[in-house]
Structure 1
Amino acid sequence: MTARRVLAALIALVLLLTGLAKLLDMPGFAAVVATYRVVPPALLAPAAWAVVLGELGLAAWLASGRALRRAALLSAALHTLYLGWAAVALLRGLPIANCGCFGVFWARPLSPVTLLEDAAMIALSLLLARLAVRS
């Protein structure tokens, strides 16, 4: 198995786990999204579903190995969005007891570590995009 396939599988697995964890309690995850104070109340449920379906769809795309460079770049973009969203919440001083990364079942407070995790996912996704071009 090539490094490219291993990396794609790793990123897909992370997205699959985070998506499934959120899917297990969608109302709870929508409540977590509300704590960021970005999404209007009427759009909380659709936003939560968009996040979950996006993560699961991207996991499936990465696992398929098709158009891997585009999937990797989309993963980098998604995690850049997450990093920005978390950074803004931290800068605003919002007390977020659960970052929502793994839904409501593995609640971890939003912290600078969350930003590092997102940065790591961006780096891995960009590495995958680079590897996908070479093959």
Structure 2
Amino acid sequence: MIARLVLGALLSAMALGQLVSFDRMPDILTTYGLTSGAASTALAAALVAAEAVGGLWLLARPRSRNAAPAWLFTAVAVAWTVLAAQAYARGLAIDNCGCFGTYLAQPLRWFVLVEDALMLAYAAVLLHGSRSRGASRDRDRTEGRPHRGHRVSDPGRDEERSAEKS
């Protein structure tokens, strides 16, 4: 749960920084050399939307094991990793990686790739947590066992308890 809160705060902060400096985001993304013009604007909008929805979802429902916010986090992590890795491999000089828009700017260097690798690792943890909880919940349903402390009623046993109390 704490990891979901921290990662939700991180995604929300990224979305906020990018949203506040949205007029610069297409230019920042264009420096990565994969998109330009309308495609950079669309990519910026998609990143901000995924970060905002995923981040707020993780913050609002940290105990939920719904896989949707984990997949949003994963999509964001993969997008930033692809952008950074290909630009670094091509030797592009990028003054601001853009993760927080124009805020907390840092140049693209090897350390950004380490940060991206950590984001991918956190994404794997989120996905694993979503799957393992979902799988056990599905198994409980198919095997007729109660989930999360819900008691399954047994009419014969309930009658015995009533008789014992009288």
Residues 75, 125 of structure 1: 8 Å contact kept: yes
RMSD: 1.7
The yes-or-no answer on 1:55 pairing with 2:51 is: yes
Indicate how the Cα distance of structure 1 residues 11 and 26 shifts in structure 2: closer, same or farther if over 3 A, else same.
same
Higher relative contact order, chain-length normalized (CA < 8 Å, sep 6+)? 1
Deviation at 1:97, TM superposition (A): 0.5
Q: Distance in 1 between matches of 2:79 and 2:40?
A: 17
Unmatched segments (≥5 aa) in structure 1: none
Larger radius of gyration: 2
**May I ask how many residue pairs the two structures share in their alignment?**
131
**Does structure 2 conserve the Cα–Cα contact (< 8 Å) formed by 1:22 and 1:52?**
yes
> What one-letter code is carried by the residue in structure 1 that aligns with 2:127?
A
Write the deviation string for residues 3-40 of structure 1: whole angstroms up to 9, x where unpaired. xx111111111000011011111111221111112113
State the distance in 1 between where 2:3 and 2:98 align: 24
- The residue type equivalent to 1:15 in the other structure is L
Whether 1:7 aligns to 2:3 is yes
CA contact (8 A) 1:69 1:130 kept: no
Q: Secondary structure at the match of 1:27?
A: coil
The verdict on how the C-alpha distance between 1:89 and 1:74 changes in structure 2, with shifts beyond 3 A counting, is same
Percentage of identical aligned residues? 29
C-alpha offsets along residues 57-114 of structure 1, whole Å, 9 cap, x if unaligned?
1112223244433422442232122112211001111110000011112211011111
Q: Please name the residue that 2:92 is paired with.
A: 94
**Distance apart, 1:115 and its partner CA:** 1.1
Distance in 2 (CA, whole Å) between partners of 1:68 and 1:126 is 14
Give SS of 1:17's match: helix
Larger helix fraction of residues = 1
